[in-house]
Amino acid sequence: MSSKNIALVTGANKGIGYETVKALLASDKPYHVFMGSRSLERGQEAAATLRKECADSSNTVEVIEVDISSDSSIAKAFETVKASVGRIDTLINNAGITKDLDHIRGKVSLRESLTGSYDVNVAGTHVMTFTFMPLLLLSTDPRLIFITGLGTFDQCAQGNFPLPPLERGWPKKMDFETVGYRCTKTALNMLMLDYHYKLQKDGVKVWCVGPGFLATDLGDAREMVAVQGAGHPSIGGRMVRSVVEGERDADTGKYVVKDRIQAF
């Protein structure tokens, strides 16, 4: 185990997280991957599928139950990993939610659509990273990745929004919304910059990684975004692996996307 890159991926039982674990397992480099999942049962099911899909790989996957909206769940996961392997080399903060569509469907209040997403995407990610940092700092090549997207001032200032122009009147009639999610990802970008600054002397390489416009279950909108041209989550998994394996080491402290750096 000591010779393997020990990676922990949150929110990894489906979507980009799942495809990231799959990409690492399929790599010719040695990995032991902790597959973070809120539900141990769903995580075990996903891991069983992965083991079949990557049957020829010598890399290994282990499910870790962790709900990043719960401090006690994060603390329990930390103790489990500490007792099992004693360190991590790569922490990939992938877990995230959106409640924007729940709001326009009348399932939650406007306030809850924002605070619920912030609690997971920003506060939960911060607590997860802060808690696991002692294990990450034991690595000889520590890497910290925040999965982001749709949260750049640069693009929005140029009028690049995921909605067409809307008709006059209020409230606006929409069947798709991302404002809360985008706000949390903008905050997540700042969180990455803060960790990058604080960890400069610790040798930790830190990035925001934008995997691209992909069809995942985020907000139960897979079919909707697929029609809009979203790609398969495996594209994101391979993108994240490329960062883990050193292809973007010259871009630490940046928001990296395929083939370039994205302005904040």
Which CATH number covers residue 93? Answer: 3.40.50.720
What is the model's pTM?
0.92
Query: What is the extent of the structural domain holding 128?
Result: 5-262
Sheet strand arrangement including 255-257:
60-65, 31-37, 5-9, 90-93, 143-147, 205-209, 255-257, 260-262
Give the whole-angstrom CA distance, residue 38 versus residue 120.
12
**CA distance readout (Å), 232 to 16, 215, 236, 239:** 9, 6, 8, 12
Residue with tokens 């569509």: 101
pLDDT by position in tens, the chain (length 264): 678 999 999 999 999 999 999 999 999 999 999 999 999 999 999 999 999 999 999 999 999 999 999 999 999 999 999 999 999 999 999 999 999 999 999 999 999 999 999 999 999 999 999 999 999 999 999 999 999 987 787 888 888 887 788 999 999 988 888 899 999 999 999 999 999 999 999 999 999 999 876 656 664 555 655 555 557 788 889 999 999 999 999 999 999 999 899 998
Count of structural domains, the chain: 1
Measured distance CA(73)–CA(130) in Å, rounded: 14
